[in-house]
Amino acid sequence: MKNTVSLKSVFIGLWLAAFPLVIILWYYPVITFRIRVETLLMALFIVVGSICATWKYTKVRWPLIAFYVTAVVFLVFPVQPPRDRSALRTAYGDALKAYSGTRYVWGGEGRFGIDCSGLVRKGLEDALASQGFSTLNPALVRESNSLYWNDTTAKVIGDGYSGRTGLVTTCPSLNSLDYSLLLPGDLAVTMNGVHVMAYLGDKTWIAADPGEGKVTRFVIPEKTNAYFSMPMNIIRWKILTDLPAKN
């Protein structure tokens, strides 16, 4: 009996400790594949632990199990295209702006530190998740999860990112760009693939800028930031628009 009580106490202690650990790992700035796996395992442990903890209480147990089953069923529903791409673009812009002022951390992808590719990817991840749940579209939630598991660089985003992006046009600089070609949510990637920015509309860009040391908005014409005088590839997230990109 003593061993049973002891094991139960250890299990409960580990289960309770998993909650803050998941939060810490979720918000840790530089998220490696190992951290992603550890976060997933602890989340699964929380789910299993919640069922075990409520097993004796049928009025709680079955609704909890029903909730988890419903969530799984929702996530495996057939793929659906976004119902309102304009709303998704707006959500993406809002998600990007929510990171304004976040400090620049190379390799970062969260609210406690983020870099340029982390910002444009994490913003889309957030927008897809929010729109997926609010419109009951599991395809958007799955794509959000896919972005979470597939970290990448500015260069890869500019090169197609496994079919997620396509080229719109090129320009000698963002100050001389024809802005009639752009849609909110488009990206500008330097020709050498070292930096990426996102377009918010109204000739305004947002970026996790290493020179500024934080996420900052820039309005055209921008004469002081060197990136705005560099040749750029203008890239489009294909999921944000019905309009085809060039490749």
Q: What is the pLDDT of residues 210-235, one digit of tens each?
A: 999 999 999 999 999 999 999 999 99
Q: Structure pTM?
A: 0.81
Residue 109's CB is within 10 A of a number of other CB atoms, namely 22
Of the three residues 34, 57, 75, the one that is the final residue of a domain is 75
For 222, the domain range is: 85-240
For residue 1, the model assigns a pLDDT of 46
For residue 28, the model assigns a pLDDT of 72
**Same domain assignment for residues 185 and 136:** yes
- Does residue 245 lie within any of the structural domains? no
**Same domain assignment for residues 113 and 233:** yes
DSSP one-letter code for 245: P
**Same domain assignment for residues 233 and 112:** yes
For residue 6, the model assigns a pLDDT of 67
Instruction: For residue 189, give Cα distances in angstroms to 40, 113, 141, 193, 232.
Output: 32, 21, 26, 6, 6
For residue 211, the model assigns a pLDDT of 93
**Same domain assignment for residues 93 and 143:** yes
- Quick one: average pLDDT of 32-42? 82
- Does residue 40 lie within any of the structural domains? yes
**Same domain assignment for residues 155 and 96:** yes
Banded pLDDT at 5 (limits 50, 70, 90) = low
**Same domain assignment for residues 98 and 68:** no
- Does residue 246 lie within any of the structural domains? no
**Same domain assignment for residues 185 and 165:** yes
**Same domain assignment for residues 118 and 70:** no
Considering the chain, what percentage of its residues have pLDDT values greater than 70? 93
Mean pLDDT is highest, among 42-46, 131-135, 173-177, for 173-177
- Does residue 140 lie within any of the structural domains? yes
**Same domain assignment for residues 181 and 203:** yes
Q: Is the pLDDT of residue 154 over 70?
A: yes
- Quick one: average pLDDT of 59-70? 81
Q: Is the pLDDT of residue 168 over 90?
A: yes
**Same domain assignment for residues 49 and 109:** no
Which tens digits make up the pLDDT trace of 120-142? 999 999 999 999 988 888 889 98
**Same domain assignment for residues 146 and 125:** yes
Which tens digits make up the pLDDT trace of 89-107? 999 999 999 999 999 999 9
- Quick one: average pLDDT of 150-179? 94
Specify whether the CB–CB gap between 207 and 200 falls below 8 A. no
The number of domains in the chain is 2
Structure tokens at 26: 């979720």
**Same domain assignment for residues 228 and 157:** yes
CA distance 220 to 199: 11
- Does residue 54 lie within any of the structural domains? yes
- Quick one: average pLDDT of 163-169? 94
Average pLDDT, the chain: 87
CA nearest to 236, candidates 227, 224, 244, 228? 244
